[in-house]
Structure 1
Amino acid sequence: RAMLVPAAIALVSALVPGPAVHTTSAGVPRAPAVRAALAPGANVLVLGRGPVMLLAAKLAALRGYSTTCAVAQDYGDAVDAPTLVYGKDADDSSLPLTLLPASPSTQGFDPTVARAAIAAADGVIVAFDDDSTLDESILNTWIPKDRSQAKHICFMSRYLNGAGMGPFAIAAKKTANLDVWTASGPKVAALRAAESAIIGRAQELGATHTIIRAGTLKGGASGSGGQGVETTGSGGFGGDARFLDPFLYDAECTCGAGTADFINWKMLFDCQTLGATLSRGDTLPGPGFTAILTAISEDACAGDSGRGAVAEALVEALACDAAAGRDFSIAAAAGRAAPSREEWASMFVDAS
């Protein structure tokens, strides 16, 4: 898969010039924010790549935030985003969401518009769905310390503790599911560096931050999507209409690694595994020796995180003071309904 780094480097010269929104003395962080919570109507910028990024942007807009999602032609996001977010026939004016061309190679790219979105953002969500992540060039392009007014930054990281990983997870990734998270040494190092960079930038801006950790990402679309598909063993229909369009399951979806089968394990996961548990810190294990058996399971298995739950956690953290300055790990759980906003708020408070 293509990496985001080349496009980000290309953007530096295009986006860095322009008037600064804030200035601060070199090496002197701004005073930390008293409150992390952003009220509906605040401007939110969503960065990264893949389905989690797109779903977080859609959920942020549904939450009432004026949302801009940076999508790039290079990775398929710009091609698939309108269908995944709005559906094939839906009205794209129904949400306060702008899909912003994010690189010079993306049709419609305008550096002036991109600079305005960067400067206006009150909150930032960063979510990379694959094994790539944010680096310094991306950080300085999209969350510049002298132009950003961000008050809270939410970053999607991974389980980095190494428990339940090893050869079984690696074999499952190679043979069954490319989305299996293996916590390889280079990826862990890159994510630790990204976490440190996000925390450091938040401190420079006087902002707060939240880190949401995921394991193997599964699902992310609306399950049966209202198409009358009965889920195996669940005794009924399922799915969350707020999530991405079922096109995510399609083999033609370039950013979803879909399948040609109409009823498939990813759809079933999104019908019957909508629950989530939240743990404080980097504490959850990977799949261990069961990795090859659970790699394409629609059930809640060790090491799994639903894309829907991860995206919701990133968005709900923007509205929750209890999430500020902390990191949390998300695990999939059985359930035919996603947690409510009130339940997410309680989960952030109660996580231990």
Structure 2
Amino acid sequence: MKRQDFYFDLPEELIAQDPLEDRSSSRLLVLDKKTGATSHHIFREIKDYLKPGDCLVINDTKVIPARLIGEKEGTGGKVEVLLLKRKGNDVWETLVKPGKKMKPGARVSFGDGLLKGEVLEVVEEGNRLIHFEYEGIFEEILDQLGQMPLPPYITHQLEDKNRYQTVYAKHSGSAAAPTAGLHFTPELLEEIKAEGVEIAHVTLHVGLGTFRPVKADDILDHHMHSEFYRIEASEAEKINRAKESGHRVICVGTTSCRTVESAADENGKLKECSGWTEIFIYPGYKFKVLDCLITNFHLPESTLIMLVSALAGREHVLAAYEEAVKERYRFFSFGDAMFIE
């Protein structure tokens, strides 16, 4: 299967740069995965497509303000550090720009010395392990000094950090938001619950591998970055109950989808668990848990458009994307949504 099979033409002006004021007023394209039929709605109408007994799976990870701007000690040169993975004992795997000058032993200072870091070693892909030094609580210092690590296609800083968080974000650890969840408001979630839909929480800390382009011509040569996930026993039970009673499991976002598919046994059963996943879902994959998916519109040739193609078929997905472009839908993180039923 070739990377180019997942290409589509996207005018740059359709890449959403800012979130809408009202989260649930985004547009919603509904795609029937069996027939390829589409219809157009407003996101809050999603509740009309959910049935009593269905289980809606949401990813309650919280984005940390992981982008730090500092100065290299000795030269005063500007250094940008992006926190990717916590390794323990105040050591993080990071992405550093400019990387070439930050060799092991190089030191960087943030916020006039409020936070300092030393490069320990260079790891895969040129990332750096950095040991941080500070007084007090790391998360509080990060909140003070860090910026939201917005994707590269968003060209300015957010005025309100919370708009790059879901309203149910709880467990800190992501370098990017699970963006399909950005459309939900507390009111909409309450209305969905009132209709008898079960809501299950899972956690997957989104890494920057989400935005990593597929460079290999043959997609099977692409390697996914590992991401940490956790499912509590009570939430696994909710999902199992929906499956056993013949109801649907509807994942909010590709991250929730990848979590349940990574954690399920061969019979599609879940239990309390945590671990690291590198699951790569592309056409030909047989879903064990997920029945339907709420998702945003993804980049051409990305692992995410490959995942939705595994669910609805490449031809159906590309035809729906073509229609979304024609109808001037907004794309990517702050863009509109799609429901694959």
TM (norm. structure 1) is 0.29
In terms of fraction of residues, the more helix-rich structure is: 1
Larger Rg: 2
In terms of fraction of residues, the more strand-rich structure is: 2
Task: Indicate the structure whose relative CO is greater, using CA pairs within 8 Å and at least 6 residues apart.
Answer: 2
TM (norm. structure 2) is 0.30
